[in-house]
Amino acid sequence: MRGATLWWLVFANGGNILVWYTEGSHWINMKPVLETLVDRGHQVTVLVPSASMFMNKSEPSRFSYEPFNVSVSKEDMRFSHFDVYLEIYIKFTSMIRNNIQNNLKFLDGVLKSETTMKKLKERKYDLLLSDPIYPGSDLTADILGLPLVFSLRFSIAHNWERLCGQLPAPHSFVPGPMSKLTDKMDFLERVWNFLYFALQDAVYDYVFWAELDKYYSEGKGEYPRNKKHCVTTHFLWTTYSSMII
């Protein structure tokens, strides 16, 4: 049934697409995708949190916005932004920790707001499009009964792509994003790349996925699924790894 809806979107004009909120380079990356969807006759609505730093509702655009309130302020978000390269690893880990807490408050703003959930149900969307760097779109799609499409810019050390998207990333050939390595690595760089993946996976398991699993378990009885809940509902991953510097 869900597959049928997707095929209908590919071959006919006028789908009603809901887009998950995102920030920074992920939003910059998402905008041309949305422009193309509008060009093809789809109606595009973007969820935007009240504490968004990069999404400007007043900017003229061809897609519409669905604002929702969050209990976090813009000031709280300023230092927890994902794309800031921090040299000091400890600081980085605490940033992820802080970030997941803010991300979950954002998710509360959608899932725990009766007003927003009622609106999302009434608007009869055909599809949820998401850059999954902000978690919860899979849970939201499941609750709304919508098919889900991912367009991910990148995640640190390709954690999402490898563990959720099942994309192969041999350590000797694929440099972890934000490791400052390129695809031309000497032996020591390859060793460092291997350690970098392992270290990031351990940090994310402990700091990020564990928190998310806890949230999902509270929200809906059947979560978490298969340890990494993100494996099951995905139809399509488009990644932009080639654009990573």
Ligand X SMILES: *[C@@H]1O[C@H](CO)[C@@H](O)[C@H](O)[C@H]1NC(C)=O
Measured from the CB atom, the residue of 58 and 226 that comes closer to ligand X is: 58
Instruction: At 175, list the tokens.
Output: 């440099």
CB of 59 to ligand X, least distance (A): 4
Measured from the CB atom, the residue of 66 and 161 that comes closer to ligand X is: 66
Measured from the CB atom, the residue of 55 and 141 that comes closer to ligand X is: 55
CB of 75 to ligand X, least distance (A): 14
- Locus of tokens 């980085």: 92
Measured from the CB atom, the residue of 69 and 233 that comes closer to ligand X is: 69
- From the list 13, 39, 59, 168, which residue makes contact with ligand X (rule: CB under 6 A)? 59
- Locus of tokens 């095929």: 7
- From the list 61, 94, 113, 241, which residue makes contact with ligand X (rule: CB under 6 A)? 113
Measured from the CB atom, the residue of 144 and 199 that comes closer to ligand X is: 144
Measured from the CB atom, the residue of 94 and 113 that comes closer to ligand X is: 113
- From the list 20, 21, 65, 68, which residue makes contact with ligand X (rule: CB under 6 A)? 68
State the greatest distance between any 2 C-alpha atoms of the chain, in Å, as a whole number: 56
CB of 109 to ligand X, least distance (A): 8
**Dihedral sign computed on CA atoms, order 1, 128, 150, 205:** negative
Does 61 help bind ligand X (rule: CB under 6 A)?
A: no
- From the list 10, 13, 115, 184, which residue makes contact with ligand X (rule: CB under 6 A)? 115
- From the list 56, 166, 182, 217, which residue makes contact with ligand X (rule: CB under 6 A)? 56
| Interface segment toward ligand X; rule CB under 6 A; list 9-17, 84-92, 109-117, 227-235 | 109-117
CB of 90 to ligand X, least distance (A): 32
What are the residues binding ligand X (CB under 6 A)? 56, 58-59, 68-69, 113, 115-116
